[in-house]
Amino acid sequence: MRGFSTTSLLMRIVLAAVATLAIAASVCFVGATSISASRLVDALVGRSPLDETEWIILTQLRLPRTIAAMLVGGSLAAAGVGFQGLFRNPLAEPYVIGASSGASLGVAVVVIWGLQASLWSLGATALMAMIGSIGVVMLVLAIGGLGRTDSTTSLLLAGVVISSMAGAIVSALMFLFDQKAVVILSWLMGSLASSHWGSAAMVGVLGGMGTLSIFALARPLDAFALGDTASRSLGLDLRRFRWLIIAASSIATAGAVASSGVIGFVGLISPHIARSLVGTRHVHLIPMSVCIGASLMLLADAVARTIMAPAELPVGIVTAILGCPFFLWLLLRDRRGALMGATA
C-alpha cells in the first residue's frame, strides 16, 4: 500500500488481531444468563469459584460458540479473497458465487441420509460440503466463462443460476422429506446456536487448511491479478493455479457451511474493508481479511443473540441485512465507473 511501510502494514494486522481477540473475549459474556467479566476474574484468582451452571455455560456453550464464530468468519473472509482473486472480480464471494449453496446441498444430503446423528456425522458433513462447494464453483466457472472481458456480468449470472438450482434441489428435498425440513432450514438460515467443540474443531481443520492454502498462494494471486499474459511470463502455471485456488477456497467455505450453515456476505465485505487498510498485496490482504471476517462474525452473532432476547435470530439474517446494501453499493459503484469510462 502506497505511503505505508511493510512494518506499518504488519502493525495494522497485529492490531486487527488483538482487536479480534478483545471482541471474542467480550462476547463470551453476552447471553441470556448474566456472567460478568469480574465474576470470571474472581473465579480465576480463587476468590469465588464458578458454580456448575456457570461453568457449563462458559465452557460448553459460549466458548465453543465464540471460537466457531471466529473460525467461520475468518474462513469465509479468506475464501472471499481467494474467489475475488480467481475471478478478478470484487463482487465474487462464497455466497454470491454459489459455493455456500453447493455446500448446503451437500449438508442437506447428509441430513436426509440420517448420517448427521451417526458416529461419522462430522466427517460425512465435511466431505459432502466440500464436494458440493467444489462442484458448484466448477459449474460457475464453466458457465460464467472465466477470463472473458464481460466476466463480471457472466459470473454474477452464472452464480445466480447455479445457486438457484442448488436451492431448488434443497427445497425439493425438504418437500419430499418433510420430517427433516426443520433441520435443513436451520442450515439454510445460518446459525451458531448449536455450536459445540466438535463443530468448532471441524471448521478449525477445514477452514484452517483452506485459509493457510490461500495464504500460501499469496504471491501467485498477485501475479494472476496482472492478467493471463503477464502471469504466464512470470512463470505461473495458470491451470494448476486455478485448480489450487478453487480447492483451497472451496474447502474453507465447506468448513464454514458444515459448521454453521449458509452465512452470506462476510466473504464480500471483509476483503473490501481490508483493502482500504492494507492495500492489494495478498500477503497483507489475506490475514487482515481473516481478522475482519472473524470480528464481523463475532459482532453479528452477538447481535443475533441479544436483539430479540431471550429468542435468537439466525446469524445469517444479520449478515444478510448488513451485506445486501453493501453489495448493491458495489454494483452501483462499478456501474457508475463503467458509465464514466464509456463517456470519457
148 vs 181: which has the higher pLDDT: 181
Say if residue 23's pLDDT is above 90.
Answer: yes
> Picking from 16-20, 164-168, 210-214, which range would have the lowest pLDDT averaged per residue?
164-168
- Is the pTM higher than 0.95? no
Cα dihedral sign for 30, 33, 38, 44? Answer: negative
Distance CA 37, CA 26 (A): 8
Q: What is the mean pLDDT of residues 148-169?
A: 75
Q: What is the pLDDT of residue 299?
A: 95
C-alpha distances in angstroms, 87 versus 147, 227, 253?
A: 8, 11, 16
Task: Decide if 343 is inside a domain.
Answer: no
Amino acid at 307: I
4 vs 136: which has the higher pLDDT: 136
Give the tens place of pLDDT for each residue, 105-142.
988 888 888 765 544 566 778 888 888 888 888 888 78
Task: Decide if 275 is inside a domain.
Answer: yes
Q: What is the pLDDT of residue 341?
A: 45
Say if residue 1's pLDDT is above 60.
Answer: no
Task: Decide if 271 is inside a domain.
Answer: yes
Question: Structurally, how many domains does the chain consist of?
Answer: 1
Domain of 318, in residue numbers: 6-337
Give the tens place of pLDDT for each residue, 45-97.
667 677 778 788 888 889 999 999 999 999 999 999 999 998 888 888 888 78
The pLDDT > 70 percentage for the chain reads 87
Cα dihedral sign for 260, 261, 267, 268? Answer: negative
Say if residue 340's pLDDT is above 50.
Answer: no
Distance CA 217, CA 214 (A): 5
Task: Decide if 344 is inside a domain.
Answer: no
Residue 308: CATH number of its domain: 1.10.3470.10
C-alpha distances in angstroms, 189 versus 13, 126, 212, 317?
A: 31, 18, 27, 7
C-alpha distances in angstroms, 148 versus 90, 96, 152, 201?
A: 15, 19, 9, 39
Which cell goes with 108?
A: 442437506
Say if residue 331's pLDDT is above 90.
Answer: no
